Amino acid sequence: MLKNYEDFQKLGKENVEATVTSFGAFSKGFQAIAVELADYSKKAFEEGTAAAEKLFGAKSLDKAIEVQSDYVKSAYEGFVSQSTRIGELYAGLAQAAYKSFESAVAKATTAK
């Protein structure tokens, strides 16, 4: 009976440690994602403002279309790049969060 109690206590302690480690990984991951999104938002705003200034300074319709086309192209490329980066950060977050439970999952699957 005492052995089962000690095993139960050990299992509980391991689960708590894994959970705390996982929450730490989530915290760091979401912080990195928030920083990345804030940087992207700032950059996108600055690029949009610069494009608007160029657009208002255009002397002809052709130049205005050129400025707008260049802006749309660079904004799209930046968005795709940023989306890829955010996806990588989320994947890393999931891996880091799972890593703390990996040993517990391995024990559970081998116990069956």
Ordered per-residue pLDDT tens for the chain, 112 residues: 556 767 667 767 777 887 888 888 888 889 999 999 999 999 999 999 999 999 999 999 999 999 999 999 999 999 999 999 999 999 998 888 787 777 666 765 665 5
Is 33 inside a domain boundary? no
Is 106 inside a domain boundary? no
Is 22 inside a domain boundary? no
For the purposes of burial, counting CB atoms within 10 Å of the CB of 62, is it exposed (0-12), middle (13-18) or buried (19 or more)?
Answer: exposed
Is 12 inside a domain boundary? no
Q: Which domain holds residue 46?
A: 38-99
Nearest CA among 16, 24, 21 for reference residue 100 = 21
Number of domains in the chain: 1
Is 45 inside a domain boundary? yes
